[in-house]
A and B are shown apart, each in its own frame.
Chain A
């Protein structure tokens, strides 16, 4: 492994792109950027202030006009320019319109254009001058009335920062430095990962390397260590360069604003420690994806969305009011970013930091496993066909697939179908529901979920019975499905409740809205709700998620992959801005339904589970006696039920029939 690592490092360091990203950018960019930004800002300010602001004044008396005129930063224009049009056309930078005296007060309105820098500045200058004039008038009035100057100022309020310049600097640093550091770690690992995996494949060196008497895992380890080291080195170089730039005194603004950017060595060291698993995560993820690509370009295309997906969420750390809690700490990349923010701002809570670090180590290990698996698979390394690895892969497979019987959609087809449906549901379904209310919900379930699924399996070249798992369930299968659903539901509630207690603050009114939707006041209303909230989703959502999606995934993936992936998509489908908390409980029920479907091969079993799950929700909300049996008023589940649930779940799984492999 060390041989591979040393060689990869040597070769990578000879690559201009990597060197550029690692050394040139950090050492030159920050000082240059800071100087350029500062100079440009100063230049702009100077230009703005080098000539007086042209302000038109209408309705002012001679006293006010002469007071304004005495300010050299102002150039007064005639009253006819004091109009909205004149300011909009930039004939005047601002306009002061003074109304006649009314009960001792003259109202003054300043017209300006906030989308124009000069107009903004003119507004500021003239406002300050007017305030000064007001003070002069006030002082004159007070003197006239024989009152002391402080008479009209019973309270003089001023604020004063208690933070030291260092603390203010640390706060500011914590908001943007982590973003840059993570971005640079990622970019540092980006090209080496592509080069060491896809690049090596493209140049034909990979097969030579794999004929050397070294186990593939050592090759992966060596390559991956090289990429990770380069990522960490890039981040460290950025960190050092940034700090030197701040401390060099080049950044005059910071001094003027009483802000001091410093980072204690201990903090910098902790940040570096946190960067290591992050670099490992990025390198392993990038390597794992890059090695699945046949060329440098293909890998670049495949990695770009991953790069975006990994960087955009870290912008969350720049937002105010986001607390660093254990839940946020466990979010990949964001957790570490929050940890850096906390460390740099000087108030790092221990538990979230540990969670962030440990979860990142875990994600890194998973990513490493993903990368190592790719290196061990010949179809990944050499495509699918002999002699033409670049083309053989999926094309050959697609050809073979086309030639063969096509009963169930491909995983990619199923995912594309669900993505299309989700878009449709999001845009059309939401509009329908806001316009037609409950009838809109009914229409969108049947029209936007059920109908497209039906069209896909009947119009497409698929076997509708297989794709939708339309198989008569056995009595035992149905019984098992019922037991598993009843056992799974309290566990789902428990997941939701725990999530609410510890992880997120969700406004209670959201539940009110949900409850209103499913509250029944009469029997017909109850039956209507059962149709709307329980039966309809049980049919419409099942044909999409356990039908097309699950069957498509199960065709190519292992059972667990299909179950988990379909459950996650199912959970994500129930996400919206208001109902983020439904994700985990929904995905949990999705997992159970996936397992039952796998074993029984009948969609009617998962439909039953879906119906029971949603129907019980209707019952709980509309019948207080049922609700009290199952949960408290605050929504805390009956823990006896939760404790018994795993037993019932095990019984249900035991009851499940073995998966029958005969066609049906």
Chain B
């Protein structure tokens, strides 16, 4: 019983305009838990070098959609693809091309930062010398040198955040899925995430992240999808969304879109 959503589908972003390589794709994806429809008929695409923000209130369906993409949940209908591989049918191929980061960070308390990176490198099929080289690169790139030999449980929040990013990209995946990556972080810690996303875009990675922080979306996102009640209620650049909603800023536009979708 949804009202007609404000749907702005303007194809002006670099990925779609210049037929850049399509890395992340939702095609009419629905997911329900029993009678509860968490995501309904969601379609969106993210190309290489593009950052896509999935904006929504708590329980809007962001996490469910991203978990379907990350092969953690099976869609009830439709597909989620990474680099052309179907998350439900070819989960291993998808996981090889996917860097997943959630708010919980997913660090093992009793492994050192270096051991953690080695573990995930091994799980991704990078072993021996190659793994050590890659870990050294990560330690260098994310400034983990000081605490690489310390147990993750003893690290500060900011340090853990950096280790967790390094963990997500240790296998150099083309697509990054970040589920509320800045949840519960202070401004300084959030900044490392923001820099990381910008860097990933520069390196041609496709990034999709969920959030309800307007400032992050304004800073980072090439395109935004507003998700409400499991449906994509609006999509476009920040400016397009603000304009189409007839509001002055993204926060107001978001509120309006969500209210009208309810």
A residues with CB within 8 A of B: 3-4, 7, 10-11, 14-15, 203-205, 207-215, 378-379, 381-382, 384-388, 392, 396-397, 400, 404
Contacts and interface: CB of A to CB of B under 8 A. Distances in A.
What DSSP secondary structure best describes chain A's contact surface? Answer: helix
B107 A205 contact: yes
Interface in B66-112: 67, 70-74, 92-93, 95-96, 98, 100, 102-111
B161 to A, nearest CB: 13
Contact of B111 (A7, A204, A384, A397): A7
Given A208-B100, A387-B64, 11 more contacts: A7-B115, A11-B111, A204-B106, A205-B107, A207-B70, A212-B120, A386-B38, A386-B63, A386-B64, A387-B62, A396-B36
Contacts of A207: 67, 70, 72, 100, 102, 104, 106
Nearest to B115: A10
Contacts of B108: 7, 11, 203, 205
Given A203-B109, A207-B67, A387-B58, A212 B33 contact: no
Contacts of B35: 400, 404
> Which of A11, A215, A388, A404 gathers most chain B CB within 10 Å?
A11
Contact of A213 (B63, B109, B124): B124
B98 A378 contact: no
Contact of A385 (B33, B98, B105, B111): B33
A3 B102 contact: no
Contacts of B128: none
Interface size bracket, B side = 35 or more
Contact of B33 (A14, A205, A384): A384
B231 interface: no
B147 interface: no
Contacts of B119: 3, 7
B167 A211 contact: no
B67 A382 contact: yes
B104 A212 contact: no
Contacts of A203: 104, 106, 108-109
9 contacts: A7-B119, A10-B115, A11-B110, A203-B104, A210-B72, A386-B63, A392-B33, A396-B36, A400-B36
Contact of A212 (B61, B111, B115, B124): B124
Contacts of B58: 387
B59 interface: yes
A221 B74 CA distance: 22
Contacts of B151: 14
B104 A387 contact: no
Given A211-B71, A212-B120, A212-B123, A204 B36 contact: no
A296 to B, nearest CB: 12
B179 to A, nearest CB: 9
A205 B104 contact: yes
Contact of B123 (A213, A378, A385, A396): A213
A3 B34 contact: no
Enumerate the 7 nearest inter-chain pairs by beta-carbon distance, A residue then B residue, closest first.
A204-B104, A208-B106, A386-B64, A213-B95, A212-B123, A211-B100, A14-B110
Interface string B118-156: 011011110000000000000000000000000100000
Nearest to B230: A386
A15 B110 contact: yes
B23 to A, nearest CB: 16
A531 to B, nearest CB: 46
A643 to B, nearest CB: 49
